[in-house]
Each structure stands twice: as C-alpha cells, then as structure tokens.
Structure 1
C-alpha cells in the first residue's frame, strides 16, 4: 500500500492527458444515427449525454513532434516514479521480501521478488500507450494489484480510461471495488505490511485500529484524488469541444451569411434584368408588330416605327451592358434608376405610339432614399411592361405621386382586352418583383382585376436620403 505514489502519479497522468484530448478533437467518427437511418457525425458521450454532438474539428490535429514533446516526458516521469514506488510495494507481498524486525532495518528481496520486480517494470511500460490503449494499462495495473504490489498503476489506467471514454462508470466502479478489496486484504491479513512499516516504528499486527484506519484512509484518499482528476479532465475536454462547436457554428453562420448575400445579389440582378430588358423587349415586340402592319399599309409611317424599334433595341443592349458591368465591377459602379426617370419612361412609350394618360407629381425627389428612388422607377417600369404585354395598343392610365409627407403612390390601370394575346410571353416574375420591392420598403401592393381593368396599386412609405449620400451626390 502506497500513500504518496497514487496522488502524485494521478496528477502527472492528467497533465499528460492534454495531448490525447487534443487528438480526440481532431478525429471524426461516423456512426449510424438511430433516427431515420441517417448517418451523422457524432463524438463520444459525456455522462448521460453526448460528449460532442455533430462537432467537426476546427483544425488538423497537432503535429506528431508536438504531441511527443508533451506526452513522452510525462510518460517517462510516470514510468520512473511508478517503478520506484512499486519496488517498495513488493514488501506488501509475502515471500517477495524478508522484512526486518524493526523499522530501522532494511528488507531483503528474494529470488521470487526479483521476478516480480521485472514483471512490474514490464507492466509500467504500458504507460507509454495509456492515451491510445488505456485498457492495456488497466490490465497491467490489475495484475499488479492482484499480486499485492500496489494499486497505483490501476488508478493511472482508470484515470486514462475515464478521461477519454463516454461512459466509464462501470470500469470506474470495478476499479474502486478492486482498490477497496486491496485495502481490506491489507488491513486484515499479513499482505500490505509496507504501509504501517513506513508510517510507524511500532506497527503492531493486522486488525489493529491504526493499521485498518491507515489502509482505508489511503485507499479512499487515492480514489478521491483520482476522481477529481478525472472530472477535471472531462470538464476541460468538454470546454475544448464547446470551443470547437462554437467556432464551427460561427463558421457556418459566416458561410450562410455569404450565401444569403450572394443570393440577394443574384435576385437583385435578376429583378433588374427582368425590369429593364423585359420592358425594352416588350416595346420592341409591340413596335415590330406595328411595323409588320405598317408594311402592309402604304399610308403608315413605317420609318418612324422602325426608328423606335432601333432605339429600343439599342437601349436594351445598353441595359445589358450595364448589368454585365454590375457583375464584373459590382453594383456600386452602376447608376441606379431614379424617380425623375419616370417621365422619360412615359415619353418613350408615347413616342412609340402607346396611348398613355399620366399624372406625375414629384415633390423633393432628391430627398428620397436610393432604395425608394430606384423602387418607384422599377415598379412603374414593370407595371407598364405588364400592360404592354397583355394589352397591346390599349390605353394606359398612370398615376405617380411622390412627396415627403405621404410617401409614394403608384397606380397603373389598363383595360382587359378579351381577344388580345400577350405580345411577349411572360412568366409572372414581373408582378412578383413588384410585390417584393414593395415588401422590402414596408409598403403595400395590390395587383389584380377590377371592373374589366387590370390594376397595379402600390404605396411606399417615405424614406429620407442619408446626409452622407446627399454630400456625395452634390
């Protein structure tokens, strides 16, 4: 029985556990999940729950030289200290050494004792594999405890095992029972004379109170220290896994944020391309049909219609170049559409022969935010495109009113023509884009049929342009 060796060796064993813990962080074990038959990434359990759930390593394991630099010296210290202490512990076993009559004398090791010394040296070499194969240390420690040398190596193996296993309680309980049985044998038999011999000059005989108390106090204290070391190591391991889990979640959040930004940019480009090109191409299609009709009638002004087709086609190409420029250099280099451009938009359609009745009242448009500025223009553009598609040559009534007090009100109305077919096939993305733009600015959009007319009615709250933007635009 050894009073000093157990706690010291256990503390050293925990100090060596960091390398093994870090290696655990660098591993991924794939197990079949119990729900739905899906495979998931899972780590070892802690207590009744999981040690690490869906945790991936944040980095590669430490290099081999670094692990050896930490683990090898600790293993050497464990080996040397353990062998020296257990060489004293062979006095516990009858027949291995001849004890002196008093504590002042020296013990003599027998030939059988020499063989046991060689055995314990071989058993203690297992500490060099305690991180990867703690079971080997447990078996070697159990052999030494069964012989009666000491339970020090058994406690070292228990600490190594319990610090790295999800549910070590069965093995830990078995080790505790073995230690208590060792103490019982030491207190009630001639096995275990080393402890009293080291602690007192006059030791008496087994079964005396001092003998029994010393044996059990040493056993309980050793197990308590070992348990504290195990719980501390597991707590540190859980903390490391929590850090890894938090870092992994941060990385996932960053990836999702980046994906959302990219998706938002793709949707913005898709809306702009739809709003700009669909409008231009709808006008081109409308005037191409008029040009076809004019070619059959000598009285129509085919030249004017052809000029409008050419201008709209050229404008569509310019819009395409602008969108490609967005993709190459970023949206900051593009000049967004503005509220003031609504009048130009209406004038272009009137020039092409589309009958439009409009009321446009713009008050302080320069104070509107960039988002509101662009949204008003794009909503009017898409509403006109929709009217041209589904009711070619039908009159369009446009009402646009923008002021800082009431915000923006856009209303585009065109009659439904029962026999008219769409000039350009549509996919329904235009009206969806109008609703999305209105929702993005906390506005409302009503789009539908009422009393034989198709109505687009949008209300947007006022948004003031930031001062910094005004200064840049000045």
Structure 2
C-alpha cells in the first residue's frame, strides 16, 4: 500500500505537466492526421474504408495515447513507438515526441541509441510504404532522418540547458554556503579577539583590585590617608571593570561592533593608574611621528600586560616603561621591573591562568612583530617587543 502511494506521488502531474502533455498529445495527433487527410488531386480513399487503413489509424491513436506514460517509462514508450513507426506512418508524430522526451530526460547515450533504432525503423518504413508520387526511398528516408535528428537534437539541447541551469544553481548555493561559512569564521575570529580584549582589560582592572585589597589586608594599621586612597582605587577600578563588562556584553549582543580600542594617547593614563598602587612606574617616550593605530594599540596591550604581571609577581618593585622608535625603524616597547619588595603571597592574585603572555605573543605575531620576555640577572623581569612602523 505504501509502495503504491509513493509511486503515485512520484508520477503525479502538476498543472504545468498537464499542459505540456496535452500539447504533446495534440501535436502527435495532428501530425498523424496529416496522413489521413486527402490532399487535392489525390484519389479519395475507398468506401467502405480499407480495413488495413482503419487498423493503422487505430494503432496511431494508441501510439498518441501512449505518450501520456512517457514520463514514467520514457525508454520503453520510445522503443515501442519507434517500432510502430516502421509499419505505420501515422505513428511517426508520436514517435518524434517520444524521442524528444527521451533525449530530454535520459542520458545522451540512451537517446542516441534509440535515435539509431529510429533511423533503421524509418528506412524499413520507407520500404514498406513507398511514396505514391514516386519519391525515391533514399530521399524519403533522409527526410525522415532529418526530422528525427532535429527532434533528438532539440531534446539533447534542452537537457544540456537544464543541466547548465542546475549546475549554476548548485554553484550559487555552494557560493552562498561558502560566504556564510566565511562570515561565521569571521564572526568567530571577532569573538576570539573580544575574548583577548576581555582578558587584557579585565585582567588589568582586577590586578589593581587585587593589589590594593592585598595591601589593606597586609597592612591593617596603615594610615587613614593610604587606606582611603586604596579604597578609592578599588572603587574606581571596580566601576571601570563593570563598565568594561557592559561594553563587552553590548558588543556580543550587537550584530556588528568592536570593543573601544585604546591608543598611544591612553598610555599615560595607564601608567598613572599603575603608579597609584604604591609602586613607582617610570615612563620614557622617545619616538617621533604619529604611531599607526594598529601598532599603537598593540604597544598599549604590551605595556598593560607588563604592568599587570609586575603587580602580580613583583609586588612593590619599581617598574620602567620605555617606548622608542621612528617611522621606518619600527617601534620598540620595553617593560622591566626589579625583584619583588614585599612577599607576593601576601597579595591575592587575580586569576589569569598564565595565558596573558601566550595571548600577547599571538597578538604581536599577528602584527608582524617580535616579542621577548624572561627574568633578568637581578631577579626582575623584562618584557621587550618590536613592532613594524612603516615610513
């Protein structure tokens, strides 16, 4: 029952199919009627009609009716109609329609094979039904072959055009899928960039909170002014961290957007904030010209990571930041600090997982720069980077 239902659904005709099939049936029927109509000057058919002529007409009508099943069995219908056209000239129209339909819906090899059989049937038909006006058999055969070749060629061209359209449609769908994939990859890269920004920005803010909270815990009897200053820094850093989180969430929710990016102009404020922790930070800027936006942003992140690591691992040590360079020579960024003055275990560290330098290395590499870092001879730490600065 299910097989029957699926078979009916498979061959169910739509409105367009009914129109096309009706036109094909009428075309084949009209082509067959041309053999029934008596042309002027020809002797009228015998009365009563010749039984063979009536049989031929009935065979032609059956051939035209068989066209309604050519979609389900294109090869079988075409072969049967080719064989019928060899003995009935009135079935030639139906045979041409079946040949055309076969070449449209089946591979060219199948269509050309049936076309060869139709040539043979046409030659047999020319011998069985010689032209009453004395036209040579070869001429009749060639004329029939021209019609058959035209029908087959037309069907093959329609099939080729459909395949071309299908190929173009498939390529368009493939291109659209690739474009969507590239968009998703670009979005993924943006989100990875946002994740790095979250680490850099919030790591810096939280390290400030950690240092000042640890200082208050380490020195509970500190002067009131120092306690007030530390509390103010904690409050301000917490407020800025909250603002950073809100900006990040806004970017993640928006379809298009980027985090506000720092520049070299923000470097002084970064150093000032780091100096408020109680450890001295020296900033030396020895560069001329306007630093490119991307280079300046990377330099800012290098200094930010260096100061964050100094607060976490070298508590109380004095830190120096040196930036030098010029267009054509590149930009050199160096952050160094001495050994820790206070016990770093007394300060609660912000969780970073040691991924800061890994992410910074990737950031510098993407900027086509070089990054070096490691301990110094006096027990401190040095972070140095070179960034390209086109002239």
- Residue 299 and residue 80 in structure 1: after superposition, are their counterparts in 2 closer, same or farther (change >3 A)? closer
Structure 1 distance, partners of 2:26, 2:188, is 63
Aligned residues: 369
Q: CA deviation at 1:240?
A: 0.8
Structure 1 residue matching 2:264: 3-state secondary structure: coil
Structure 1 distance, partners of 2:161, 2:256, is 48
The answer on whether the counterparts of 1:148 and 1:182 sit within 8 Å (CA) in structure 2 is: no
Aligned to 2:233: 308
Aligned to 1:79: 25
1:345-398 CA-partner distances (Å, limit 9, x unpaired) = 12211221234344233534xx33333332222221123223333444444332
Structure 2: give runs of 5+ residues left out of the alignment. 1-12
1:40-81 CA-partner distances (Å, limit 9, x unpaired) = xxxxxxxxxxxxxxxxxxxxxxx955x35xx71x54443233
Structure 1 distance, partners of 2:187, 2:147, is 60
Structure 1 distance, partners of 2:248, 2:325, is 27
Aligned to 2:120: 181
Alignment of 1:269 with 2:194, yes or no, is: yes
TM value normalised by structure 2: 0.78
Aligned to 2:44: 106
- Residue 381 and residue 345 in structure 1: after superposition, are their counterparts in 2 closer, same or farther (change >3 A)? same
Aligned to 1:160: 101
1:227-282 CA-partner distances (Å, limit 9, x unpaired) = 42133123212321232123213312331232133223312322222111111101
Aligned to 1:459: 386
Aligned to 2:74: 134
Alignment of 1:430 with 2:371, yes or no, is: no
The answer on whether the counterparts of 2:312 and 2:344 sit within 8 Å (CA) in structure 1 is: no
Structure 2 distance, partners of 1:244, 1:416, is 67
Aligned to 1:8: none
Structure 2 distance, partners of 1:225, 1:171, is 13
1:225 to 140, 150, 171: 150
Structure 1: give runs of 5+ residues left out of the alignment. 1-62, 92-98, 204-209, 465-474
- Residue 330 and residue 248 in structure 1: after superposition, are their counterparts in 2 closer, same or farther (change >3 A)? closer
- Residue 395 and residue 162 in structure 1: after superposition, are their counterparts in 2 closer, same or farther (change >3 A)? farther
- Residue 333 and residue 233 in structure 1: after superposition, are their counterparts in 2 closer, same or farther (change >3 A)? closer
- Residue 447 and residue 90 in structure 1: after superposition, are their counterparts in 2 closer, same or farther (change >3 A)? farther
2:330 to 400, 407, 410: 407
1:259 to 167, 171, 184: 184
Structure 1 distance, partners of 2:251, 2:305, is 20
Structure 2 distance, partners of 1:262, 1:183, is 66
The answer on whether the counterparts of 1:287 and 1:352 sit within 8 Å (CA) in structure 2 is: yes
Q: CA deviation at 1:448?
A: 4.7
Residue pairs, 1:25-174, within 5 angstroms: 67=16, 72=19, 74-87=20-33, 104-108=42-46, 109-128=49-68, 130-131=70-71, 134-135=74-75, 137-138=77-78, 141-142=81-82, 144-145=84-85, 147-149=87-89, 150-165=91-106, 167-170=107-110, 172-173=112-113
- Residue 217 and residue 83 in structure 1: after superposition, are their counterparts in 2 closer, same or farther (change >3 A)? same
Alignment of 1:441 with 2:370, yes or no, is: no
Structure 2 distance, partners of 1:347, 1:214, is 104
Aligned to 2:10: none
Aligned to 2:292: 369
- Residue 186 and residue 134 in structure 1: after superposition, are their counterparts in 2 closer, same or farther (change >3 A)? closer
Considering fraction of residues, name the structure with more helix: 2
The answer on whether the counterparts of 2:29 and 2:94 sit within 8 Å (CA) in structure 1 is: no
